[in-house]
Structure 1
Amino acid sequence: MTSIASWNINSVRARIGIVEKLLHEEAPDVLCLQETKVECGLFPADMFHRLGYTHIVTNGQRMHHGVAIVSRLPLTDVRKYDWQANGEARHVGVTLPSGVRVDNVYIPAGGDIPDRTLNPKFGQKLDFLGRMTDWAGALDQPTVLTGDFNVAPLESDVWNHKALLDVVSHTPIEVETLARLQAASDWVDLGRRFIAAPTPLYTWWSYRAKDWAASNRGRRLDHMWVTPDLGDRAQAHRVVQPARSWERPSDHIPLITEFAF
């Protein structure tokens, strides 16, 4: 069995304590981190090494974005992608000893206005997804795609579907664009394979809420997808909701999947 976790940590150095807590409590074999906000040479590797996560691949930059994969298993065939051709560190992929690829992505949030003319960041987000769609259509090995997709596609992935239809992350054009990415490789959405809609499922709650749990205005922005050849090898999938209340929490929570490989 191999367990793979994914977490937008919102600065790995600022929240290294809760990353260590997750590794102690859940002990995934592989942890994919997004929004690490650190250059590759300054990544805090010591704690990971101490806990046995001696294989580390980073795609980072100063103060912004950044993704990393830390693992107890050897990692080979490292690939980094720049889907916006602007130097932002948002995608890194590796191959596990089983031959399964793991791709870790932090898709742009897209700004506040869902209009590419008024808000270029929104257009960049849609184009990023479009380039990933072309990439996904050419995949030729079993792949896990995980990370912060910054899109909540289903009505039950947000606290109020009607209220959020014009809010970036749940607009119809984002949902349609993400659906094209999913169709490109017939990806299996493990979150909804194991926790079927219409059961509400969230992975993000804003810092703006005084009591995030009481208001529960969440969105499912974080995902783990697999190519169809891995669908039946996923044995369990869960979210670690208590992590949203840990000391100095991220606004996202971890996902963990157990695989039979």
Structure 2
Amino acid sequence: MTFTLATWNINSVRLRESLVCKLMEEEAPDVLCLQECKSPVEKIPLERFRALGYNWIVARGQKGYNGVAILSKLPLTEAGGEDYANLGHARHVAGRLENGVTIHNFYVPAGGDIPDRTQNEKFGQKLDFLTHMRDDFHAAKPQKSILVGDLNIAPREDDVWNHKQLLKIVSHTPIEIEHLAQTQDAGAWVDVTRKDIPEGLLYSWWSYRAADWDTADKGRRLDHVWATPDIANASHGSRVLRAARGWEQPSDHAPVFATFDL
């Protein structure tokens, strides 16, 4: 079975319902993972999505904050959702396809503005969230699994517009990068995007603060697609749909795609 998967921090699924539909109509991924839905599950506009062929959903929701959802054209059953770091946030949900592949959809906390847990509780929560992920992957090695989402960390020097300037900026600090690396290593996860696009600057997020985000191009690769080693080699065709960042009333994130032959 060949299927294409996309991950997108939509920054309110109800506000940007039309953009989700545009992506479904124009790009038609078989599986679409959304983060920061900012909606209770019962208020996600599923009727319109189902009309476009996305008949299966697993989701965790909250009013106005967080929220993750997996929308699928392919039969999908719920495979759990963990409250990482015991924050009481809707930041993880998992679904399983009929071919046995488990898809984990994550929205890692952004971590605030100050990269110091003694001064900034949100930064500590981010590190604790990643530590909990790491410990889970150590305890039960994932197999035949894909992990996607807004992990809110740009780990490589070419995942940001200026490595030196961003070393003290949350999302690219050494301690965050180390925590993410430990989490990735614990599950032996393969960064599918960088497997397919090994070199060069690559971004999936551009700040709303830039007057002309496209010209300034001060981006970061915060959105990721990982796979376990047993299926990583079945992936190909990774890309970032940069154009979506320029759609009307856009999210500040662009969708990231990968295709799997499984």
Settle same-fold status: TM greater than 0.5. yes
SS in 2 for 1:18: helix
- Residue 41 of structure 1 deviates from its aligned partner by 1.2
CA contact (8 A) 2:160 2:220 kept: yes
Alignment deviations for residues 148-167 of structure 1 (CA, whole Å, 9 cap, x no partner)? 00000000000000100000
Aligned pairs for 1:71-150 (under 5 A) are: 71-137=72-138, 138-150=140-152
SS in 2 for 1:145: strand
Partner in structure 1 of residue 161 of structure 2: 159
- Residue 140 of structure 1 deviates from its aligned partner by 4.1
- Give the AA of the match of 2:180: L
What is the CA–CA distance in structure 2 between the aligned matches of 1:180 and 1:107, rounded to whole Å?
15
CA contact (8 A) 2:239 2:257 kept: yes
CA contact (8 A) 2:7 2:148 kept: yes
SS in 2 for 1:84: helix
Partner in structure 1 of residue 229 of structure 2: 228
- Residue 136 of structure 1 deviates from its aligned partner by 1.8
CA contact (8 A) 2:79 2:102 kept: no
User: Is structure 2 residue 209 aligned with structure 1 residue 208?
Assistant: yes
- Residue 134 of structure 1 deviates from its aligned partner by 1.3
- Residue 182 of structure 1 deviates from its aligned partner by 0.9
The number of equivalent residue pairs is 260
Alignment deviations for residues 19-53 of structure 1 (CA, whole Å, 9 cap, x no partner)? 11111111111000000000011111011110110
SS in 2 for 1:248: coil
Q: TM-score, normalised by structure 1?
A: 0.98
Partner in structure 2 of residue 41 of structure 1: 42
Identity %: 54
SS in 1 for 2:7: strand
| Backbone CA RMSD of aligned residues | 0.8
**Runs of 4 or more consecutive aligned structure 1 residues displaced over 4 Å after TM superposition:** none
- Give the AA of the match of 1:171: T
Aligned pairs for 1:9-28 (under 5 A) are: 9-28=10-29
What is the CA–CA distance in structure 1 between the aligned matches of 2:87 and 2:211, rounded to whole Å?
36
What is the CA–CA distance in structure 1 between the aligned matches of 2:92 and 2:123, rounded to whole Å?
18
What is the CA–CA distance in structure 2 between the aligned matches of 1:48 and 1:203, rounded to whole Å?
24
